[in-house]
Amino acid sequence: MTSVKAKTIRVGDGASAVVGPDTAPPVYKRRRKPLTFDKVSFFVVFLGLPLAIYIMFVIWPFIQAFGYSLTDWSGFSPKQNFIGLQNYQRLFSDDVFMKAMGNNILLVIFLPIITIVLSLVLATLVTVGGSSKGQIRGLRNSSFYRVVSFFPYTIPAIAIGIMWGQIYDPSGGLLNGILTSLGMDQFRSYAWLGDKSTAMIATMFVIVWGFIGFYMVLFVAGIKGIPAELFEAARIDGAGRLRTAVSITIPLIRDNIQTAYIYMGILALDAFVYMAALNSGGGPDNSTLVMSQQLFFTAFTKGQFGLASAMGVVLAVATLIFSGLVFLVNRLTGGDKDVSL
């Protein structure tokens, strides 16, 4: 006790040393405290330092982006002319950008739904695949599947992209090797990423591959959080496995599903890393070009920073609209509380 007091005097400074001894704690605590050096320095460092970094490197650039998007700034010229919404007009009449936006919309429609359905199926198999008698239990030895499924999430996205780029390789790739050895000779040197009709699907598969395991683990955690009595009650009422999954499990992990849907959608609106690794030029006929790639190219290759900022704003607005839609649909279909992101 005494040693703590002695040390406090060292930790704080003169002020706390004066206040320390004659403090009548319970009453004193509730009142407004005088500002001691200890308290002031505490607030300045604890709140000031993180906030300074955060505002300078995150918030300030976000705000500036909106301003830049209204100018014709090319970055290295000192002059920035205010041109209103012209950048936005230009974007929406630009075929390449509209194509990129269309591809993002494709990704937003398909990626979350495919990933979530598949990971829900796997999570359900793991958790309710066990015996239908006695205690509710999961599949035996299921932890192996969970550990393995999570592998892709730990691999850097760029490494995933490069690896799959090699797997899809027309002549030396694993995929065509497997297909030809199964007797499908038409795939002997088929370019999965070089053909307009398969480039997008092949790309989507890579992203789905990277995320199923993560969401599977997330859903397994959600399902394990449901009290076992609920499953037991459903079983006593005669519900089979499918019925239990549809009527008990899914409604109860609804918030997890919503979170997953939003994360996956935000990822689909970005998708930069995967596209850059698999088809850095946008793919055949721009079939895998996405807005983020176009933004990067416009800014750092062409130097049109005003236009690129406008693309960033479009991307941000799309993200907000998407999240809003997911919340709205969830609310309308009966989800009643906000999910904490």
Torsion of CA 74, 75, 79, 82, to 10 degrees: 60
Tell me if residue 161 falls in helix, strand or coil.
helix
Among 72, 75, 102, 239, binds another protein (CB under 8 A): 75
92 vs 209, beta carbon nearer another protein:
209
**Residue 50's Cα: distance from chain center in Å?**
23
Nearest to 127 by CA among 36, 245, 14, 40: 245
Applying the rule CB under 8 A, the residues between 177 and 206 that interact with another protein are 177, 181
Site string for another protein, 248-267 (x = CB under 8 A): --------x--x------x-
105 vs 313, beta carbon nearer another protein:
313
Among 16, 80, 86, 198, binds another protein (CB under 8 A): 16
6-27 burial: b if 16+ Cβ within 10 Å, else e:
eeeeeebeeebbeeeeeeeeee
3 vs 197, beta carbon nearer another protein:
3
Among 35, 42, 329, 338, binds another protein (CB under 8 A): 42
195 vs 270, beta carbon nearer another protein:
270
Under 8 Å between Cβ of 87 and 307: yes
- Residue 268 touches another protein, criterion: CB under 8 A: no
The dihedral region occupied by 40, where left means phi > 0, alpha psi between -120 and 50, and beta the remainder, is alpha
Applying the rule CB under 8 A, the residues between 127 and 156 that interact with another protein are 129-135, 139-140, 142, 144-156
- Residue 117 touches another protein, criterion: CB under 8 A: no
Q: What are the φ and ψ backbone dihedral angles of 194, each rounded to 5 degrees?
A: -100, -5
What's the min distance (Å) between Cβ of 15 and another protein? 10
Among 14, 35, 43, 328, binds another protein (CB under 8 A): 43
User: Could you say which DSSP state residue 339 is in?
Assistant: P
Among 68, 97, 190, 192, binds another protein (CB under 8 A): 68
Spatial distance between the Cα atoms of 59 and 163, rounded to a whole number of angstroms: 35
